[in-house]
Structure 1
């Protein structure tokens, strides 16, 4: 999806937010809603990375505590022509990862212990390259803004249910309108958020494969992570499903209503796109990882370092 289309979708979210505010309090309600959204977004701009990293208990690592991981991230950041991001590890058995930060100069990449233990060095490189692609494309800020506005729309819609709609409407339709708004507005916001998130995942897959130089590495990693994500729960993500869009693979198991937050495209379609990219680049087609859980052998296993774009 082009940035123009993404801007249109963001404008649609903003218009929806304004409309909800108008239904609740008329013109003044719309103005107040926009002011609240602006204040929320300013706070999120400066603090969203700290909030989400804290939420997942991520611990920053350095060259002494995780030398291989830091070296891999540094090499890939050089390939991507990006500043070195801060690197965090989350103590979580589910293999997964996300990137956050308001810009490339203040970016962070977080990976789980499950990811480090279950992927080969090449697969880990593919995942990190995908996250660096999000940083390079400024997706981390984009997804923060969309999540913030979508959450504010849901909050306003629920408030409107108790308020009873625009008080200028006294014929009883205000309550009915509020009920409809409470259902439709968050749903519409979620659909827009899903559209933006899915498009950005495809773009990050493409750029990430080019950063690491091998689409098959990322394709194999996606297959393994998707398989494990349905079997190994991520308790923190289950408690905060609205953050699911940040991860490379949806961390939710799909129990109950959580699947409403499945903002990722299907893994099969993503692998198919990577297969097409490999063909375009004249590289070998990605081979699917076995469905059975792989034995832990991350970059700390001492396996010989495979040839890649970092040497």
Structure 2
């Protein structure tokens, strides 16, 4: 299952990049494709360097020292050893909403942020399951992958919007003799420009869901027990609709449970259905007696 999710993520990222390049080609031909590719590389580098700082700043996270939060630091340190990654920096978000996220472009620059609400809601074992899930994200470089996907999807939307308006304005200035063909070309182009951002968003959400499944599985393996994380997810899902969190849509995909509750279809969800995640973890525990 882990290999399949990794392979699927690679295919989806390739598809998202390809869609971006195709949009560039429609806008400016071969030169437009080259510009789009260069733009994609530049955005990915920006996401690689700055996504962690932006996520922590936007969430209002505050770094805490081992003296301020000794038990939390000890837990993160012990689980980092089991995950075989450097101990990430530890942050706390002052909010009653129970949640957590990880960020960092690679394991050497990782950070884990938990809310004050999650420390009050979960047992020690359940919190360890959540921390292990976040460490799995860091180990798999998921925040980098998610940032790249979000950057490319956003660029697809921006370029498609530019291309659509360009085509509309150019059609108004065309000769009357070319009106019929120009209108048909404009209609097909506008249709493509409308569908491309939707396709980009669907691919981005699919990547995000795949990485959540991987982090659930990886976190269970780090902890050596799948059931505490399953129990934690059950509590966090229950609390998500009862204690609203002021979170930015730009960072909502990072949290273990999406803090923005809404009636979106499965294609547009940043996270898999929590019930499915819990079922997979419990099935994982039942298959492995050491995790039961």
Please give the TM-score of this superposition, normalised by the length of structure 1.
Answer: 0.84
Task: Find the counterpart in structure 2 of residue 290 from structure 1.
Answer: none
CA positional deviation for 1:178: 4.1
CA positional deviation for 1:221: 0.5
Hey, what's the Cα distance between the residues in 1 that align with 2:192 and 2:250? Answer: 20
Task: Find the counterpart in structure 2 of residue 155 from structure 1.
Answer: 158
Please give the TM-score of this superposition, normalised by the length of structure 2.
Answer: 0.89
For residue 196 of structure 2, the aligned residue among 160, 167, 185 is 185
SS at match of 2:289: coil
SS at match of 2:244: coil
Task: State whether residues 24 and 165 of structure 1, in contact with CA within 8 Å, keep that contact through their aligned partners in structure 2.
Answer: no
Q: 1:120 to 1:151 in 2, by over 3 A?
A: same
Task: State whether residues 48 and 101 of structure 1, in contact with CA within 8 Å, keep that contact through their aligned partners in structure 2.
Answer: yes
Deviations 1:135-163 (A, max 9, x none): 11121211111111111111111222221
CA positional deviation for 1:124: 0.6
Hey, what's the Cα distance between the residues in 1 that align with 2:265 and 2:224? Answer: 35
Task: State whether residues 244 and 262 of structure 1, in contact with CA within 8 Å, keep that contact through their aligned partners in structure 2.
Answer: no
SS at match of 2:95: coil
Task: State whether residues 166 and 174 of structure 1, in contact with CA within 8 Å, keep that contact through their aligned partners in structure 2.
Answer: no
Structure 2, unaligned stretches of length 5 or more?
none
CA positional deviation for 1:166: 11
> Is it true that 1:270 corresponds to 2:277 in the alignment?
yes
CA positional deviation for 1:258: 10
Task: State whether residues 157 and 178 of structure 1, in contact with CA within 8 Å, keep that contact through their aligned partners in structure 2.
Answer: no
Q: 1:251 to 1:265 in 2, by over 3 A?
A: same
CA positional deviation for 1:167: 6.1
CA positional deviation for 1:182: 3.5
Task: State whether residues 231 and 253 of structure 1, in contact with CA within 8 Å, keep that contact through their aligned partners in structure 2.
Answer: no
Task: Find the counterpart in structure 1 of residue 210 from structure 2.
Answer: 199
Q: 1:178 to 1:273 in 2, by over 3 A?
A: same
> Is it true that 1:115 corresponds to 2:122 in the alignment?
no
Task: Find the counterpart in structure 2 of residue 11 from structure 1.
Answer: 14
Q: How many pairs were matched up?
A: 281
> Is it true that 1:42 corresponds to 2:45 in the alignment?
yes
Structure 1, unaligned stretches of length 5 or more?
286-311
Q: 1:79 to 1:166 in 2, by over 3 A?
A: farther
Alignment root-mean-square deviation, CA? 2.2
Task: State whether residues 58 and 110 of structure 1, in contact with CA within 8 Å, keep that contact through their aligned partners in structure 2.
Answer: yes
